[in-house]
Amino acid sequence: MQKGYKIEPYFNYTPNERRGLIVIVFLLVIIFILRLLVPVFSNQTENATNTVRIVRIKLNLPDSYSSHYGKKYFHNEYSYNYSVEEKIDPNKASYAEFSMVGFPSYVINNIIKYRKSGGYFRDLADLQKIYGIDSLLMNRLKGTIFIDPAFVQDIEATKINQKVRKIVNINKVDSIQIREIEGIGKVLGKRIIKYRESLGGFIRKEQLKEVYGITPECYSTIESQVIIDSSLIKKLDINKESSYELSKHPYITDYQAKAIIKYRNYKSKINSINELLENNIFTSVEFSKILPYIK
């Protein structure tokens, strides 16, 4: 080695050279880190792809299923831990679980809306009430569905407990209170009140059948929820009421109202309501209906 030879010049860099060296070192560190992470993402993506493939084979789905759900769901949710050997309960399953076994997205949305509205599934046949679930889809997916009978029993028991029917006096309730009767809505409630006022009150529960809109099915629902207090009946005084007031009653026709007034004017006073039957103003059937409402 030549005397006085110096190594120092080899490590002298200009400012630009030093900056370039720092950038190179930084890039090398990033490349090293990325090489460590790539196998992790590669394995997760491969697991997701395998899961799609398993579901497709198990459910005998077309190849398009893999590409569709691989992009839409599995690729983004590859960390979701779910085994296709398990079954889902449509009363409890999440959107992700429905998706995992092959339910189309619009069907899943319909199921979730149905459940939010208070609906539930007692058996597999109930699922076909959902728009979008036809027999073909049902046959394809029924092997992935399980309905927990204990869960269904709990729901039904809760509904029974919540469904406490209130007994009301039909001759006292107003248009708001009458809607507490199961099967009576706003419109039907107003009709019942109006008919009650024109009658003077209900004598028998069966008179509710005379209200427009009360079907036999509706009557069977409300019958056990009402009681009759006949002491609240308002009676017409046949010696005081005008022909117009008498004819407003559902059981008195215009002809009968005028006949009562004519007979009353002839007699000056009707001493017994039986005179109306005796003078053929009412038939025996008609008289039995109007009798509780006149005095």
In tens, the pLDDT along 140-199 reads 888 888 888 888 888 877 766 555 667 889 999 998 889 888 888 889 999 999 999 999
- The rounded distance, in Å, linking the Cα atoms of 114 and 222 is 27
Structural domain contains residue 59: yes
Residue 217, domain member (yes or no): yes
3-state SS class at 88: strand
Q: Which of 50, 73, 96 is the last residue of a domain?
A: 73
Q: Does residue 79 lie in a domain region?
A: no
pTM: 0.46
The answer to whether residues 186 and 221 belong to one domain is yes
List the domain range (segments joined by +) for residue 255: 243-293
CATH number of the domain to which 100 belongs: 1.10.150.320
Question: Residues 133, 181: one domain?
Answer: no
Q: Which of 156-160, 192-196, 202-206, 273-277 has the lowest mean pLDDT?
A: 156-160
Q: Do the domain assignments include residue 18?
A: no
Of 232, 257, 285, which residue sits at a domain end? 232
Summarised one tens digit per residue, pLDDT across range 229-265 is 989 999 999 999 999 999 999 999 999 999 999 999 9
Q: Kindly report the CA angle at 236 between 232 and 240, in degrees rounded to 5?
A: 140
If DSSP codes are grouped into helix, strand and coil, which group holds residue 235? coil
Q: What is the mean pLDDT of residues 213-222?
A: 90
| Interacting residues of 59 by C-beta distance below 8 A, sequence separation 6+ | 101, 102, 140, 141, 143, 144
In a domain, 7, yes or no: no
Q: Does 93 share its domain with 150?
A: yes
Kindly state whether residue 205 falls inside one of the protein's structural domains.
yes
Task: Give a yes or no: residue 20 inside a domain.
Answer: no
Last residue of a domain, one of 162, 190, 222: 162
Residues 6+ apart with CB under 8 A from 182: 163, 165, 221, 222, 225
Same domain, 157 and 180: no
Question: Do 157 and 97 have their domain in common?
Answer: yes
Strand (E) or helix (H) holding 227: strand 226-227
pLDDT on residue 39: 56
Where is 32: in which H helix or E strand? Answer: helix 15-59
68 and 112 share one domain: no
pLDDT at 252: 94
Residue 213 Ramachandran class (φ > 0 left, ψ -120 to 50 alpha, else beta): left
Count of structural domains within the chain: 4
Digit-coded pLDDT (tens) for 15-74: 777 777 787 888 888 887 877 766 545 545 555 555 555 555 444 455 444 444 444 444
Q: Are residues 250 and 280 in the same domain?
A: yes
CA distance 280 to 8: 140
On whether both 146 and 186 belong to a single domain, the answer is no
In-domain check, residue 221: yes
